[in-house]
Amino acid sequence: MGMRETWEALSGVGHPEERVLLIAHYDTVPASPGADDNTSGVAVLLELARCLQGAAFDRTIQFVAVNLEESQTVDGQWVGGLRGSRALAETARGEGWQLTGVVVLESVAYGGSDISQKPLTGLPVPMPEKGDFIAVVGNQASAALVKEFVSAASTPSVGLPCLPLVVPGNGEVLRDTRRSDHAPFWDAGFKAIMLTDTCNFRNPHYHQPTDTLSTLNLDFTTQVCRATGLAVARLAGVSE
C-alpha cells in the first residue's frame, strides 16, 4: 500500500494562489468495510467536487483524498497513521502554499436524535447526550474557521446541529482531538478544522466489520454536505 494523495482543483479567478483545502482519507482498517470511517467523508468530498464545478470563486478550492490515515500493520510492520496528510502538510509548508483554511472530513454519517453520545473527558464544553450533531474541532489558531462552519451549518437551509470545540495549543492535552488529518496541518502552522461524528464516542461499529452502509443516516450526511459546501464557498469567496 503506497502513500498517495489524489486531488482535483477548482482554480480561483481572483487570487488563485490562495487555497482552501477539503480533505478526506480513503483508507480503513483491516476487516472493516469502513462505511462511516471513512467512506462517508470521501462521499461528501466527491459530491462537493461535483456540485461546485462550474462555479467561480476568488480562491482555489482543492479537493484532496489522502491515504494511510489509520494506524495499522503494513507489509508486516506496524506504522503510525496520518502519513498521507503529514506528507501533504509538509509539502504545503515546504512550497509556501497560501492556505486560507483546511477542512477535514472525518467520519460524518453516524448521527441522529435516537443515538446516544458518550462523553469525552476534559473538553472545554459539555458534550450533549444525543448524537445528533457534528463536532467541529479546531485549535486556537483555527477558531475563526470553527466559527465560519458553525455559521454555515446554522443557516435555515441547512439546520445542522454543531458542537464547536476550540482546543488549547495543538490539542496536545486532548489527544483524541488530534486523531485525523487536520493534526499535521496544525503542527505545520496552518489553520484547519476537523468535522466528525465523534467516531468511537458514538458509533458502536467504529473499526468493526459492522461499519456498513445500512448503519448510516444519509439525511444527516446530506446536512453535513450542505454545511460544508456553504462553509467552503464562503472561505473561497464568490468571485465578482
Domain ranges of the chain: 5-236
Q: Yes or no: say if 107 and 134 are a contact pair by the CB < 8 Å rule.
A: no
The pLDDT of residue 80: 81
Calpha distance 172→8 (Å, rounded): 32
Average pLDDT over residues 10-19: 96
Is-contact 106 70, C-beta < 8 A? Answer: no
* 175: Cβ contacts below 8 Å, ≥ 6 apart: none
Nine cell digits for residue 30: 483491516
Task: Provide CB contacts within 8 A for 184, sequence distance 6+.
Answer: 82, 85, 86, 88, 89, 90
CATH superfamily for 5-236 is Zn peptidases (3.40.630.10)
Which of 65-74, 106-115, 186-195 bottoms out in mean pLDDT, i.e. has the lowest? 65-74
Beta bridge partners of 138: 166, 193
pLDDT at 45: 98
Q: Are 202 and 216 in contact (CB under 8 A)?
A: no
Tell me, what DSSP letter sits at residue 35? I
Cell numbers placing 69 = 490515515
Average pLDDT of the chain, as a whole number: 94
**Is 80 exceeded by the pLDDT of residue 3?**
no
- Of the candidates 187, 21, 216, the one whose C-alpha atom is nearest the C-alpha of residue 107 is 216
Between residues 54 and 130, which one has the greater pLDDT? 130
Global pTM reads 0.94
> For position 73, what pLDDT does the model report?
67
**In the chain, % of residues over pLDDT 90:** 88
